[in-house]
Amino acid sequence: MTDPLRLALGGALPTISDGERTSGRRRHPLRTAAKTQPDPPTMPTRSARRGASQARLQRENAHDEIYEKIYTAILEHRLHPGTKLVEERLAEIFDVSRARIREVLARLAHEQIVDLIPQRGAYVAKPSIEQARDVFEARRVIEPAVLRRLVATLTPEKLTRLRLHQELEVDARRRDDKRAVIRLSGEFHSLAADLAGNSALARSMRELSVLTCLMIFLYDAPTATSCRADEHSQIIDAIAKRDAPRAEKLMLEHLEHIESSMKLVGDTEEVDLAAIFKD
Ligand SMILES: [Zn+2]
């Protein structure tokens, strides 16, 4: 992936390593570890086993690459909520079978990023206002727990990864690269969950983070870019001081800021015509 930010940093991308990116299981370290285990000895021969597992690996790599490309396009708002993902076109673009594309779309649907509608096809998810509120409620429960665990298990390496990610964010803001800012802001939260070391929390956080990205596109004020500039660094400072209560408090405030920057007004709310046409 040609990422100028990655090049600028000499290939160092703190959130996702190349290997993790192509494995596509970057949020699930336990599953990745399980995958690398040798196949059970019930397979016919060693060479057949190796051939089969290589073919499977190639298939999975292609699958994961397409998945990552679609996932990142959604995260960066290049693919908008509600966009139809036409199987045939995607198969042409990525030069793979429609069956392969169907697998990727099924995975994205499983993560709630894509809606599969019978007889109509696949669409980039368009979370409703009610779903958006649910996402924030879930984040308020999960993220303080993530930070508590992260502080309890903190190592200098984990802190370095957080700081490096923060530098990428600062750099993207300085370049006014809105797509990168939105993606990196979301990834900060997923990274914290990854580093906390609970794979179930990390998986939930990854899904909630991409749903938040879609919600920002649908409901955010046009000028906002999800996370406020300096709030992640304040959270990292609290983590560095191993001050879990402060980190949790800052995170809840941060989520409150993101939620309140969105226009999550009820669908059924009556429109005040008089206010609209005043003067
Ligand atoms: Zn944030």
The string of pLDDT tens digits covering residues 60-119 is 566 688 998 888 888 888 888 889 999 999 999 999 999 999 999 999 998 888 999 998
Q: How far is CA 136 from CA 34, 73, 113, 141, 236, in A?
A: 32, 23, 16, 9, 21
Q: Is the pLDDT of residue 212 over 80?
A: yes
Give the Å distance between the CA of 61 and the centre of ligand 1.
Answer: 30
Q: pTM for this structure?
A: 0.68
What one-letter code names the amino acid at 5? L
Give the Å distance between the CA of 235 and the centre of ligand 1.
Answer: 9
Task: Spell out which residues have Cβ within 5 A of ligand 1, the ion.
Answer: 227
Alpha carbon 153 to its chain centroid, in Å, reads 23
Give the Å distance between the CA of 70 and the centre of ligand 1.
Answer: 22
The string of pLDDT tens digits covering residues 32-57 is 333 444 444 444 556 666 666 666 56
Give the Å distance between the CA of 209 and the centre of ligand 1.
Answer: 9
180/163 Cα distance (integer angstroms): 17
Q: Tokens for 19?
A: 């290997």
Helix (H, G, I), strand (E, B) or coil at 149: helix
Note the pLDDT of residue 36.
42
- pLDDT bucket at 6, cuts 50 / 70 / 90: very low
Give the Å distance between the CA of 253 and the centre of ligand 1.
Answer: 10
- pLDDT bucket at 59, cuts 50 / 70 / 90: low
| Burial category of 186 from C-beta neighbours within 10 Å (exposed 0-12, middle 13-18, buried 19 and up) | buried
Give the Å distance between the CA of 162 and the centre of ligand 1.
Answer: 12
Q: Tokens for 110?
A: 């499983």
